[in-house]
Amino acid sequence: MSRIGLSANTQTLLMLALIANQPQIRNDVMQKESLRHPLQRNDPETVMRSYVNSVLYPLVQDPTYGPIYARLLTYSIERIEFELVVWALRADRALFFREEQVESTSQQTDGDRVHSQDETSVMWDALAQNDHLLHQLKRLSREWEHNVRRGARMLRAYFTLHCPIVMRTYECPFLIQALLGLSLERINWIELAALVLGVPVPEQLPLKREEVEEHDPHVQLAILQEVLELSQNDFGEYMLSPWCSDEVQGLCASLADQCGQAQRELTHLKEQGRVFEE
């Protein structure tokens, strides 16, 4: 029997893949046992949104970075076409991928900036409402030496590394990992770096993957510094885990101290100009 095919965006197909691979969620959405009593059925979209919100909440508890990732994830979730997901699960419609057209340049009209990607606008709006984090980024931007591309690479690494730790575990649904990764990938980091610096957006090619970008030791140093700080914090959190024995807690405390000591020594080397190979 033929099926009418409908186009769906990336977020919708990811939601469909999640439900298709999770029997319990699929049954909750389809509610086959309640088909004889339609008035007892919950709205399928409500069921799906409730599940997504339940797994989203633990990821955004960090008062500094949580609101940023929450805004990006909420934007992606709002782009899910839930009705299409239900139709596909019921085999009423077939879905095929719809490629989205993404602008590659930013514009300015009547004094209002038009961001090159919606995700860039969402990120900047979230940063503009987070005075503490925006001040921290402006402080970090002093190390960019007005090099917008260098700043863009540092920003991308910064927000990738600061993703909630639970995102790096198997406990986090792949939907959340995929949606946040997709949002971070779509941000125009060059434009964002220019906004942080308060300078016009330069005409440059979009960032490539970090491993194929031109080598910049300043970027690598910034990544090393963030890794050391995050590792110190992560080991510190493990010290408070109830499952850790006294021996494991002591080991984590030692590792956290070593990361902190490495940060201090690295800062001292920077002040002496002894970080980079001559």
C-alpha torsion angle, residues 236, 240, 242, 248 (rounded to 10): 40
The residue assigned the tokens 């033929």 is 2
Strand pairing of 93-97 and 4-8?
parallel
> Looking at residue 115, what is its pLDDT?
63
7: enclosing H helix or E strand = strand 4-8
Q: How far is CA 30 from CA 6, 63, 176, in A?
A: 20, 36, 22
- So what's the pLDDT on residue 57? 74
3 state DSSP class of 231: helix
Residue 79 contacts residue 100 (beta carbons within 8 Å): no
Q: Digits of tens for pLDDT over the chain (278 positions)?
A: 446 788 899 999 999 998 888 888 888 888 754 555 555 567 888 989 988 888 877 776 778 888 899 899 999 999 999 999 988 888 877 888 887 765 544 444 434 555 667 999 999 999 999 999 999 999 989 889 899 999 999 999 999 988 876 666 666 778 888 999 999 999 999 999 999 999 999 988 889 888 889 889 999 999 999 999 999 998 998 888 888 899 999 999 999 999 999 999 999 999 999 998 86
The rounded distance, in Å, linking the Cα atoms of 160 and 219 is 14
Residue 26 sits at the vertex; the CA angle it makes with 30 and 60, to the nearest 5 degrees, is 120
Q: Are 237 and 177 in contact (CB under 8 A)?
A: no
| Other C-beta atoms lying within 10 Å of the C-beta of residue 132 | 9
Looking at residue 220, its pLDDT comes to 92
* Three-state SS sequence of 41-71: CCCHHHHHHHHHHHHHHHHHCCCCCHHHHHH
Please answer whether residues 144 and 197 qualify as being in contact, where contact means their C-beta atoms are separated by less than 8 angstroms: yes
Looking at residue 93, what is its pLDDT? 76
What pLDDT is stored for residue 99 in this prediction?
Answer: 79
Supply the pLDDT for residue 100.
75
